[in-house]
Amino acid sequence: MKILTIEDDVVLRDGINEILVRAGYETVQASMGSEGLKMALEKRPDLILLDIMMPGMNGFDVLKHLREHQQTATTPVIMVTALGSRNNYRDGMDLGADDFIVKPFTRNELLQAIESRLSRKNLFNELKETAVRETNMRILRTIPHELRTPLNGLMGYGQLLSSDPDCFSRDELVSAGKDIYASALRLNRLVERYLLFIQLELKLGNWERVSQPFPVYASLKQKAFEVADRYDRLKDLSFSGNAVTSRLPLMLLQQLCDELLDNAFKFSKVGDQVAFSFDLDGERLRIEIEDQGPGFTKEQYSKVSPFVKFNLNFRSNEGSGLGLSIVQRLLTDIDGRLQIIPKTTQGTIIRVLL
């Protein structure tokens, strides 16, 4: 394990270095904040010991820059200070410090603080690797099936049309064209949702509110009917909304409605009503979706994870398990809230406040 010490006091810096070397750590040293920041980015240490009071760039300045760089954003930082002020602790924690150690400290105190932070880092890395492995396995179980289903339709019709085009009547060609188009739409939607999920995971989205509020009635109505038509259930859609405005990006609003309505139709039966409504709730836009499906609980929502499917006994062969993960990430990015209101009878009410 490599540890970087950023300390302007040469006696203390050498003393820390000797303790670390004897404990078996690889060490790197810097006497100034600017030098330490440069070495942190170049050497990629496993942990940083950072003095607060230094000339020029102090410890808080260094920490702020460390957290702004991807290479050091999660590197454990223990701040070394002779100050006992609560303000220093609070400022350091606000900037992302992992721990503090107060001068003068003993050898054991220093090593215990380091070992504690490194243990937590190792545990975090193990949990992250486990989560990545589980997600990869879910992708391998889900995506191939979701890709093959529409592709099989496209390839099957393509083969028939290319090998014996004259065997089709006009009505059969129209029917084949509709099936081909439906398969292409399903495939396109899967790709678009997967790309959006990756964009959200990598924090590449820009969901800043627009400068001027705009009316949303027509756009949300179009999206609601588009999803209902996707399931050939226009008669099952109950739509209502007032002439409200929003400053949220239109794409975000449409995506949220698409994902939530898609689940409502997917997990309810043909002939059962799906109600979509929206209005203002104070200063927030409130969207509600009510279905007659098997129901969805708060406990299930708390366990939402990419490529995890719920209600596997109901249309279990459909869906990628991405919809609610996308909803969660979009709501997190815009400080939105989702409420699940179980019904006394069958079904669920989903309320979103934006």
The DSSP code sequence of 242-262 is: ---EE-S-HHHHHHHHHHHHH
Question: Which of 201, 236, 270 is the last residue in one of the domains?
Answer: 201
pLDDT of 159 over the 60 cut: yes
Question: Which of 157, 180, 201 is the last residue in one of the domains?
Answer: 201
The CATH number for 72's domain is 3.40.50.2300
Q: Are residues 250 and 177 located together in one domain of the fold? A: no
Cβ–Cβ under 8 Å, residues 9 and 51: yes
- Alpha-carbon gap, residue 351 to 348, rounded angstroms: 10
Closest CA to 232 of 267, 272, 270, 284: 270
Judge whether 167 lies within some domain: yes
- Alpha-carbon gap, residue 32 to 290, rounded angstroms: 60
Give counts: helices (H), strands (E), the chain. Answer: 10, 12
Q: Are residues 150 and 255 located together in one domain of the fold? A: no
Q: Are residues 250 and 144 located together in one domain of the fold? A: no
Angle at 274 between CA 271 and CA 280, to 5 degrees: 160
Work out the percent of the chain whose per-residue pLDDT is above 70. Answer: 85
Q: Are residues 313 and 258 located together in one domain of the fold? A: yes
Q: Check the CA dihedral 51-52-55-60 and report its sign.
A: positive
Lowest model confidence (mean pLDDT) among 7-21, 177-191, 265-279: 177-191
Judged by phi (left if over 0) then psi (alpha if -120 to 50, else beta), residue 263 lies in: alpha
Work out the percent of the chain whose per-residue pLDDT is above 90. Answer: 32
- Alpha-carbon gap, residue 122 to 76, rounded angstroms: 11
Judge whether 67 lies within some domain: yes
Structure tokens at 175: 């029917």
Q: Are residues 292 and 178 located together in one domain of the fold? A: no
Kind and range of the H or E run holding 321: none
Judge whether 129 lies within some domain: no
Q: What is the pLDDT of residue 202?
A: 73
Judged by phi (left if over 0) then psi (alpha if -120 to 50, else beta), residue 307 lies in: left
Regarding pTM above 0.85, the answer is no
CB atoms within 10 A of CB 39: 18
More confident residue, 197 or 113: 113
3-class secondary structure, 121:
helix
Judge whether 127 lies within some domain: no
Judge whether 113 lies within some domain: no
| Domain limits for position 187 | 140-201
Per-residue confidence band for 213, with pLDDT thresholds at 50, 70 and 90: confident
pLDDT of 101 over the 60 cut: yes
CB atoms within 10 A of CB 281: 13
Per-residue confidence band for 53, with pLDDT thresholds at 50, 70 and 90: confident
Looking up tokens 């721990």 gives: 99
Cβ–Cβ under 8 Å, residues 290 and 348: yes
Strands annotated E in 146-199: none
Q: Are residues 246 and 191 located together in one domain of the fold? A: no
Question: Which of 201, 231, 247 is the last residue in one of the domains?
Answer: 201
Q: Are residues 274 and 222 located together in one domain of the fold? A: yes
- Chain centroid offset of residue 257 CA: 18
Judge whether 110 lies within some domain: no
Judge whether 290 lies within some domain: yes
More confident residue, 113 or 149: 113
Q: Are residues 218 and 328 located together in one domain of the fold? A: yes
Q: What is the pLDDT of residue 316?
A: 44
Longest dimension (CA), the chain: 92
Q: What is the pLDDT of residue 147?
A: 75
Q: How high is the mean pLDDT of the chain? A: 83
Total number of domains constituting the chain: 3
The CATH number for 264's domain is 3.30.565.10
Q: Are residues 218 and 265 located together in one domain of the fold? A: yes
Cβ–Cβ under 8 Å, residues 188 and 314: no
Judge whether 258 lies within some domain: yes
Q: Are residues 297 and 190 located together in one domain of the fold? A: no
- Chain centroid offset of residue 23 CA: 39
Per-residue confidence band for 252, with pLDDT thresholds at 50, 70 and 90: confident
Q: Are residues 335 and 246 located together in one domain of the fold? A: yes
Per-residue confidence band for 266, with pLDDT thresholds at 50, 70 and 90: confident
Residue 109 half-sphere exposure toward CB, CA atoms < 13 A: 10
Structure tokens at 123: 């545990």
Structure tokens at 353: 């406040």
Q: Are residues 236 and 309 located together in one domain of the fold? A: yes
